[in-house]
Amino acid sequence: MNKNKKGFTLIELLVVVAIIGLLATLSIVALNNARARARDARRVADVKQIQTALELYYNDQGQYPGSVTIGSAIATGSSPVVTYMATVPKNPTPIDGTCTGWTEYAYTVQDSNRSYTLTYCLGSATGGIVAGLATATPAGIK
């Protein structure tokens, strides 16, 4: 019997495959967590952009718009038309966290168009804002 054969044993190959599988699993879990954090960061950025557009509208018009529709513009209806936000962003999917049934940003105007509430959902704490259902008003984002 020739004992000078070179190659890997079955055990060595199985160990390498197991290590590669473990590393792949860990990287996928880390990537999913990073994606969820990125979606939450985008939600906060979207809400801040909407707030900026609403404040610009208020400064020019003296009141907040009566409604804000996802996918539409925030603009004046009179001539000349001034666009404050070309397209109100859509909430990134999938929805994270415990806000069951929550799918989009919700805008509600109050006090005869002198105030508003913008409601959204965060999957985890982001930028000092706690996870779950959160609101933004002219006073700030929380």
- Is 3 a member of any domain? no
- Is 62 a member of any domain? yes
Q: What is the β-pairing status of strands 83-85 and 132-137?
A: unpaired
- Is 72 a member of any domain? yes
Domain count, the chain: 1
- Give the span between the Cα atoms of 82 and 103, in whole angstroms: 29
Tens digit of pLDDT for each residue in 44-96? 999 999 999 999 999 999 999 999 999 999 999 888 899 999 999 999 988 77
- Is 99 a member of any domain? yes
- Is 4 a member of any domain? no
Tens digit of pLDDT for each residue in 93-127? 887 777 777 788 999 999 999 999 999 999 888 88
- Is 2 a member of any domain? no
pTM, two decimal places? 0.81
- Is 106 a member of any domain? yes
Expressed as residue numbers, the domain containing 125 is: 10-141
Q: Using an 8 Å Cβ cutoff, are 51 and 118 in contact?
A: yes
- Is 58 a member of any domain? yes
